[in-house]
């Protein structure tokens, strides 16, 4: 397995290119902006792109989809509970004054308990709502592609439309049930591990609580 990360867009979002190099297959997780360099990276790596997997549909995680889909006609995977978030993204972008092109509607519905694969690599899908209603994480192969649930030293916001702070607490608790040495590849900021966050993250040690609406 090889995972490359790219920091894209105004919100400095992490897009991940996850590849089974032996098989020559890859997926893009959360192509949030700057679709052209992401397309170039896939081509430069000589990989066949199989799909776009979305942890959730906030605008900073989906803004590169239109460009990537023009280059590679691959299906977009999203939990259906995030469809309203996806469709509302252009209005949110307008409010921020950001250029934004909405990609085609997602093609494939993700659900709790699904197993998704790229080449021979398999990842389990957990529905982890709270930051967004259809937020999922993909875990397997020693990593969790965790979107905006858990960051190094912080957690996802729960004060945005369609957030739920109570549900988010359950999601956070579930995140800590992953093996301690699991590498957390977050939607923003550096990689961390479950063990490091359980030990030091103020939102997990009980020193801080997520914002509620
Ligand atoms: Zn988000
Ligand atoms: Zn984000």
177 located within any domain = yes
In which domain, by residue range, is 98 found? 2-205
Tell me the longest C-alpha to C-alpha distance in the chain.
47
pLDDT tens digits, 167-176:
999 999 999 9
pLDDT confidence band for 212 (50 / 70 / 90): low
210 located within any domain = no
pLDDT tens digits, 143-167:
999 999 999 999 999 999 999 999 9
Q: How far is the CA of 6 from the centre of ligand 1 (A)?
A: 16
pLDDT tens digits, 22-69:
999 999 999 999 999 999 999 999 999 999 999 999 999 999 999 999
Q: Alpha-carbon distance 109 to 190, whole Å?
A: 28
> What single DSSP character describes residue 146?
E
Q: Alpha-carbon distance 179 to 125, whole Å?
A: 15
Q: Alpha-carbon distance 93 to 101, whole Å?
A: 9
Q: How far is the CA of 141 from the centre of ligand 2 (A)?
A: 23
Whether residue 36 contacts residue 67, with contact meaning beta carbons closer than 8 Å, is answered with yes
Number of domains in the chain: 1
Q: How far is the CA of 46 from the centre of ligand 1 (A)?
A: 30
87 located within any domain = yes
50 located within any domain = yes
The closest ligand to the CA of 186 turns out to be 2
pLDDT confidence band for 105 (50 / 70 / 90): very high
CATH number at residue 185: 3.60.15.10
66 located within any domain = yes
Query: Which H or E run includes 66?
Result: helix 65-71
54 located within any domain = yes
212 located within any domain = no
């Amino acid at each position: 397995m090889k995972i490359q990360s790219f920091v894209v867009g105004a919100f400095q979002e992490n897009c991940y290119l996850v590849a089974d190099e032996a098989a020559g297959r890859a997926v893009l997780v959360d192509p949030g902006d700057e679709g052209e360099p992401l397309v170039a990276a896939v081509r430069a790596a000589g990989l066949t792109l199989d799909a776009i997997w979305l942890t959730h549909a906030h605008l900073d995680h989906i803004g590169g989809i239109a460009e990537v889909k023009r280059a590679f006609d691959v299906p977009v995977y999203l939990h259906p509970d995030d469809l309203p978030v996806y469709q509302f993204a252009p209005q949110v972008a307008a409010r921020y004054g950001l250029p934004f092109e909405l990609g085609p509607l997602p093609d494939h519905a993700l659900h709790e308990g699904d197993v998704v694969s790229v080449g021979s690599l398999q990842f389990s899908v957990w529905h982890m709502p709270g930051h967004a209603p259809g937020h999922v994480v993909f875990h397997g192969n020693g990593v969790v592609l965790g979107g905006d649930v858990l960051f190094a030293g912080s957690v996802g916001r729960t004060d945005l439309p369609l957030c739920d702070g109570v549900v988010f607490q359950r999601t956070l608790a579930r995140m800590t049930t992953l093996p301690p040495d699991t590498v957390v590849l977050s939607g923003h900021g550096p990689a961390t591990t479950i063990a490091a966050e359980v030990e030091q993250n103020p939102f997990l040690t009980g020193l801080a609580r997520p914002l509620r609406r």
